[in-house]
A and B are shown apart, each in its own frame.
Chain A
Amino acid sequence: DVKVTQSSRYLVKRTGEKVFLECVQDMDHENMFWYRQDPGLGLRLIYFSYDVKMKEKGDIPEGYSVSREKKERFSLILESASTNQTSMYLCASRKGSPYEQYFGPGTRLTVT
């Protein structure tokens, strides 16, 4: 079974802190994604990557950056956390397109 793991289930950070969210997949998938999930807004794409060291902006990239140094790992970085970045963050991976995306369990980030 494909497994997508995220470094933390819950995270509390202070405004202005640099935050790293990490995602690892074990199925050699080329494509990886970061979404944020907010009530009433569904899943919105922040960034995605089609290959190592490649990254593409999604629909809401402002305030975020990403890093993909290894195929299995995709990191989301909040350079200076703000309260409006309090949300559930979901990582996903996919073999190619258009195929099933496998999601991690999510990280609930609270910025105070």
Chain B
Amino acid sequence: GENVEQHPSTLSVQEGDSAVIKCTYSDSASNYFPWYKQELGKGPQLIIDIRSNVGEKKDQRIAVTLNKTAKHFSLHITETQPEDSAVYFCAAWGGTGTASKLTFGTGTRLQVTL
């Protein structure tokens, strides 16, 4: 089955700096890669996603890049703000038919300090 590795597990940046979180996946057939943000006391919420036919996608201060050859994708947050502090999860969609599902990384706790 699919295996998703995520690094780093914790990340501390100063407000205004950039943050990068990286994930690798194992199933070359995976074709959808979402990123979720989980704030304290809440369930994860989708913040951006990318499909395998696209190399990069941007939405204001966040962007995701995908390298299918190397089987890795990354989340980039620019001009970080205190409200960006949260746990971030990457995921990969793989498998076929009823066995297809999202496999999540282990999460990155991002702390944005003033």
Contacts and interface: CB of A to CB of B under 8 A. Distances in A.
Interface in A1-53: 4, 35, 40-45, 48, 50
A61 interface: no
Residue of B1, B89, B99, B102 with most chain A CB atoms under a 10 A cut-off: B102
B98 interface: yes
Interface string B92-107: 0100001111111111
A40 B9 contact: yes
Contacts of A66: none
A56 B98 contact: yes
Contacts of B98: 50, 56
Measured as residues with beta carbon below 8 angstroms from the partner, the interface class of chain B is 20 to 34
A101 B42 contact: no
A49 B105 CA distance: 22
A42 B104 contact: yes
A74 interface: no
Given A56-B98, A58-B101, A42 B46 contact: no
Interface in B1-20: 1, 6, 9
Contact of A42 (B32, B42, B43, B105): B105
Interface of A: 4, 35, 40-45, 48, 50, 56, 58-59, 90, 92, 97-98, 100-101, 103-106
